[in-house]
Amino acid sequence: MKRWAVWHCCTAVLLLLAACSDNGDDNPLSAPQQAAVEWREGQTIVALGTSLTFGFGSGCKVIPFDFACALPDSAYPAQLAARLKLPLVNLGVPGATTRDGLLRLPEALGHDPALALVELGANDMFQGVATAEARANLTAIIEGFHREGVAVALLSFAHPDMIDTTPADHWLQNRIEDGLAYHQLQLDLAADYGLPIVEFIFEGIWWRADLMFDSVHPNGRGYLLLEDNIARGLGDFLAASDLLR
């Protein structure tokens, strides 16, 4: 299977990268097994991430901001919360790096989560942060959650299918080496800690004009599909945790 990576940067930048390897697994939404979540009444799910978690480009989450906008929130945390019928706190921040995520760990833990969905790393690459530093930050985030008994799942937007639907002259394809390093970092962390990982949250969305708000963010309809990809990618894990109602 070819492997490549797309990394989300700020509210308008996503770095798209490609390379080749063969691992024999063609399911872009596969998720390794992890021990089921031990859910207590009153607990939440937290979504710690970038503008893809925030939902930039969906509903009212556009620039310039319209204070009169009353469209429903179609960002994936709101949609997943409705599907699971559980409280899901959106801690997505446009431009967030892994360091930003680590600094917000106490805030995330303050919501008494049973599960944390982590979508971070792209902005580190965009800003030239060394992979070793990003790895250290992500490791600290994962271990910080685990120390408090919080399960962690990783969300990635990279998959080889993207290479066929992105223009060959797209400038985001000029950072292949860095992107591969960051993509591998996500895969390694998932393997090292036995975490579920949704490898392609953009499945069926990427570079479809009717589903994209701009060149890097889905629109409202696109975010509905993105949430469905996450729910299906984590389906076995959520079902084993009795989180699918």
Tell me the helix, strand and coil percentages in the chain, rounded to 5: 40, 20, 45
Q: Domains of the chain: which residue ranges?
A: 2-240
Output the CA–CA distances (angstroms, integers) from residue 75 to 3, 67, 157, 200, 228, in the order listed: 27, 18, 15, 16, 11
Question: pLDDT digits over 24-40, tens only?
Answer: 345 555 545 556 787 88
Query: Which amino acid appears at position 164 of this protein?
Result: D
Question: pLDDT digits over 130-172, tens only?
Answer: 999 999 999 999 999 999 999 999 998 866 677 677 777 766 6
Neighbour-count burial for 88-102, b at 16+ CB within 10 Å, e otherwise: bbbbbbbbbbbbbbb
Give the confidence band of 2 by pLDDT, cuts at 50, 70, 90: very low
pLDDT given at position 183: 79
Question: pLDDT digits over 58-85, tens only?
Answer: 988 987 877 788 888 999 999 999 999 9
44-53, 86-95, 168-177, 214-223: segment of lowest average pLDDT:
168-177
In the chain, pLDDT over 90 holds for what percent of residues?
51
Distance of alpha carbon 118 from alpha carbon 235, whole angstroms? 16
**The whole model's pTM is what?**
0.84
For residue 25 the two structure tokens come to: 């697994």
Residues with Cβ < 8 Å from 72, sequence gap 6 or more? 59, 78
CATH T-level assignment (fold) for domain 2-240: Rossmann fold (3.40.50)
> Omega of the bond prior to 167 within 30 degrees of 0, cis?
no
